[in-house]
Amino acid sequence: MTRLVPSVPRTLFLSTFLFSAAWGCGSELNAGEDFGTGGADAGIGGGSGGEVAGSGGLSAGSGGALPSGGAPSGGQPAVGGAFGAGGAISAGGAAASGGATGSGGETASGGADGTGGMDGGSGGAASGGSSNSGGTLHVFMLMGQSNMAGVAKRQPSDNNSDDRFKVFGGCNYKAGEWSTVVTPPLNECPGEKGWNLSDTVDPGMWFGKTLLPKIPAGDTIGVVGTAESGESINTFISGGSHHQMILNKIAGAKKTPNARFAGIIFHQGESDNTQASWPGKVVQLYNEVKAAWGVDYDVPMILGELPAGGCCSAHNTRVHEAADQLPKGYWISQSGTKVMDEYHFDHDSVVLMGTRYGEKMIEALGW
């Protein structure tokens, strides 16, 4: 089902790892995205070519139950600090500024039909060192290429001071543990490919901050970042070079008794520009992630449009097709955004896109 939002240009934040080069459709410069105007995995370090089929080797497990009550402890967490039942984490960190604003604000016209919250599970409070004791940890996957990993430099306004916002692993956070979010980025750096940057802002940061006011007292937001700059969707589905990383992170995140898989945000496609097989691979990725979480309910998957005026805006028709093919598929517009190069959103546009992801997820979950 397609989720319509104002036509919003999606600008890919190309990993500016090499800082000097610029990319063009079909060749990769700037050490960022593998952009090709046709075949997937064009450019340096592209994933395995061809279409990878199958759902191979997924780890199954229970989707995590919904525990009751229990307000989280106060206190501002330190960067990377792991959190556990009870004890607050050390104070510190800059306070987050208010919500993002941007031109071309997103409308919910033509919104998706897949409203209504997730199927509830029963009981079971978290214990010892994995999340706030009591309420539900609502877990969202952050997936895609460099515009999901983040390229624009972070600013103090991007920081978080709310200890209800958690990340599993992530850049500058402890691997394999839930930590309270203080600063972006939230995906791994430099990542498996080595192109993810360490001093940037990613849309997942503002996605989480947008969700916080909507969760019940005692609940928390958790994000699991798996974005890899410059990579084709072929590298994320079964048989691809990053597929096992995704499974491993899910396996670790779902061990928390009160964790509940709630949704996916996905910004990708530059490396697979206009390929007719791409929407089907998005559906495959969705099914594989859902199987890895071991859940029997559908969750919203929200796709972001690619930036207008760049190499790959023609791919947005595929973005809409993929959203239509998903059981709870949505897309957000890139309208009103700006790019810092031909492919990547500038800082304010990252904030805007992250906020739009959050607003659309709130709508999809009926929050």
- Domains of the chain: which residue ranges? 137-365
Taking 50 as the threshold, does the pLDDT of residue 43 lie above it? no
**Is the CB of residue 320 less than 8 Å from the CB of residue 326?**
no
Percent of the chain with pLDDT over 90: 59
Q: How far is CA 48 from CA 13, 40, 41, 42, in A?
A: 22, 9, 7, 10
- The pLDDT tens digits of the residues spanning 122-135 come to 333 333 334 445 79
The CATH number for 137-365, chosen from 3.40.50.920, 3.40.109.10, 3.40.50.1110, 3.40.50.150, is: 3.40.50.1110
pTM over 0.85: no
Give the whole-angstrom CA distance, residue 320 versus residue 310.
Answer: 18
- The pLDDT tens digits of the residues spanning 276-312 come to 999 999 999 999 999 999 999 999 999 999 988 678 8
Q: What is the mean pLDDT of the chain?
A: 74
Give the whole-angstrom CA distance, residue 182 versus residue 357.
Answer: 20
Cβ count near 19 (within 10 Å)? 8
Pick the more confident residue, 61 or 167: 167
Dihedral sign for Cα atoms in the order 181, 263, 353, 47: positive
Return the pLDDT at 284: 98
Nearest C-alpha neighbor of 157 from the set 343, 305, 16, 355: 355
**Burial letters for 192-215: b for 16+ Cβ neighbours within 10 Å, e otherwise?**
bbebbbeebbbbbbbbbbbbbeeb
Quickly state the pLDDT bin for 115 (edges 50, 70, 90).
very low
Contacts of 277 (CB under 8 A, 6+ apart): 51
Give the whole-angstrom CA distance, residue 109 versus residue 58.
Answer: 37
**Is the CB of residue 273 less than 8 Å from the CB of residue 311?**
yes
Mean pLDDT throughout 60-87? Answer: 35
- The pLDDT tens digits of the residues spanning 311-330 come to 888 999 999 999 999 999 99
Return the pLDDT at 299: 98
- The pLDDT tens digits of the residues spanning 75-113 come to 333 333 333 333 333 333 333 333 333 333 333 333 333
Radius of gyration of the chain from its Cα atoms, rounded to whole angstroms: 18
Quickly state the pLDDT bin for 52 (edges 50, 70, 90).
very low
Taking 50 as the threshold, does the pLDDT of residue 208 lie above it? yes
Give the whole-angstrom CA distance, residue 166 versus residue 147.
Answer: 21
**Is the CB of residue 77 less than 8 Å from the CB of residue 93?**
yes
Taking 90 as the threshold, does the pLDDT of residue 263 lie above it? yes
Cβ count near 191 (within 10 Å)? 23
